[in-house]
Amino acid sequence: MLKYLFLIFFSFSLLSCKTERKTPAEILQTGDTISVTHAHGFNIVQYQGYKLLTVKDPWPNADVTYTYLLAEEGSEIPRELEFHHKITIPVNKIVVTSTTHIPSLEALGVESTLTGFPGLDYVSSEKTRILIDSGKITELGKNEAINTEVLISLDPSLVVGFAVNGGGKTFSTIEKSGIPVLYNGDWTEESPLGKAEWIKFFGALCNKSDQAERLFNEVENSYNEAKELAAQATHVPTVLSGSMYKDQWYVPYGNSWSARFIEDANAEYIYKETRGSGSMALAFESVLSDAGNADFWIAPGQFGSFKQLIESSTHYNRFKAVKNKNVFTYSNTIGNTGGVLYYELGPSRPDLILKDLISIFHPSLMPGYEPAFFKPLH
């Protein structure tokens, strides 16, 4: 009788366990999508104990989508789940390959997890420079030729890479060593807030998604407030952007990241109707014809002074913006080792770029403003 009762109890226990256990499909249905409102290149879904990070546009015209499993230690993962790499989070040792990645690490307070970087002299962020100067971050060479032996010896949890048209041999070698490579496509985003929202990519890796959301919301609100302020201006100036390289003048397309700032600053970009990716190459005479009377010229390339500009070509004097000394550059705002701060911090702080441009185009709206990046050519 006791044996019979035991069997009934044991069978009932198995049945209870079976009915309470969720299938992989049921587990997957309980995920919460983390809000990504401006960026088009990634999405994140949060589950119990793990996240799925999907990168959809790792490079222009990419025909591949990457799914990364970000799992907390000891979390239960459905066996049927498909992914490219599994990463244990929070990540404690990381290698990134673009200066645009560093401000996100600093904002999240995890810059100490950075163990290696290619081209340390390009890094300007103060917190990270302290770590570099104290020998806590290792030089990995150049992005085009990362020293894979040194990188592998660092044994990072992962490498955050970017690619122009595919992963290439370097990242393949790193992955074969057992170190995951995660692609970051922040540079492919065309909207200012779209680039900035990639802080949520790093928030997921560091298991700080709530903090990343809060930080992005602050930037978004600051950007929108500045845009609303610019809309109050009654005069809409005309603007030329870009610079000469050899025999061609390279200007941003009208649907580009750079052009969007001009529009949101309530100014008229000379080439606003153009569409494309990258930069548009034009002859000098063509630009002079189109933009000779533009009120402002921003981002004139490598020129740091009017003296350099005119010594390069006296024909620049034919532009109204040059005659009126209305040329502004970000190239003179550099870090201690020569890195241009605009390239590093600008993508994650588009609100600062927009405020700079508003103060240039509509100075009466921002009296006493100290620019973060764009300053007058001297």
CATH number where 140 lies: 3.40.50.1980
190/251 same-domain check: no
Q: DSSP characters for 174-202?
A: HHHTT--EEE--GGG--SHHHHHTTHHHH
Domain shared by 189 and 60, yes or no: yes
Q: Say if CB 83 and CB 67 are below 8 A apart.
A: yes
| Residue 14, in any domain of the structure | no
Residue 134, domain member (yes or no): yes
Q: What is the percent of the chain where pLDDT is above 90?
A: 82
Q: Percentage of the chain with pLDDT > 70? A: 92
Query: 146 with 170: CB under 8 angstroms?
Result: yes
pTM (two decimals): 0.90
Q: In the β-sheet with 42-47, what is the strand arrangement from edge to edge?
A: 32-34, 42-47, 50-55, 66-72, 85-89
Do 36 and 136 lie in one domain? The reply is: yes
For residue 16, tell me if it sits in a domain.
no
Alpha carbon separation from 30 to 36, 42, 70, 85, 204 (Å, rounded): 18, 20, 16, 22, 18
Q: Is 374's pLDDT higher than 50?
A: yes
Same domain (yes/no): 59, 188: yes
Tokens of 261: 């700032």
Residue 141: pLDDT band (50, 70, 90) is very high
- Tell me the HSE value of 315 on the side-chain side, using a 13 A CA sphere: 10
182 lies in the same domain as 34: yes
Long-range contacts of 282-288 (CB under 8 A, 24+ apart): 282/248, 282/249, 282/250, 282/251, 283/247, 283/248, 283/249, 284/244, 284/247, 284/249, 284/313, 284/315, 286/249, 287/240, 287/242, 287/249, 287/251, 288/315, 288/318, 288/319
Residue 168 or residue 8, greater confidence: 168
33 and 128 both lie in a single domain? yes
Is 166 in the same domain as 246? no
Regarding whether 334 and 302 lie in a shared domain, the answer is yes
pLDDT digits 0-9 by tens, 39-87: 999 999 999 999 999 999 898 888 899 999 999 999 999 999 999 999 9
Interatomic CA distance for residues 176 and 356, integer angstroms: 45
The helix/strand/coil state of 321 is: helix
Burial class (CB in 10 A: 0-12, 13-18, 19+), 107: buried
Is the pLDDT score of 3 beyond 50? no
Are 186 and 276 in the same domain?
A: no
Please report whether residue 318 resides in a domain.
yes
Is the domain of 166 the same as that of 253? no
- Residue that finishes a domain, picked among 157, 190, 219: 219
The domain boundary, picked from 184, 219, 254, lies at: 219
Residue 306 belongs to a domain: yes
Among 166, 194, 219, residue at a domain's last position: 219
Q: Is residue 259 part of a domain?
A: yes
Instruction: Provide the domain count of the chain.
Output: 2
Before 350, cis peptide (omega within 30)?
no
Within a domain: 228: no
pLDDT digits (tens, 9 = 90+) for 309-368: 999 989 999 999 999 999 999 999 999 899 999 999 999 999 999 999 999 999 999 999
Q: Are residues 67 and 213 in the same domain?
A: yes
Judge whether 246 lies within some domain: yes
**Based on the domain organization, do 211 and 111 belong to the same domain?**
yes
pLDDT band at residue 28 under the 50/70/90 scheme = low
DSSP string, 102-140: HHHHHHTT-GGGEEEES-GGG---HHHHHHHHTT-SEE-
Instruction: Quote the domain boundaries for residue 307.
Output: 233-376
Q: Exposed e or buried b for every residue in 217-227, given b needs 16+ CB within 10 A?
A: eebbebbeebb
Q: Which residues contact 86 (CB under 8 A, 6 or more apart)?
A: 68, 69, 71, 77, 180
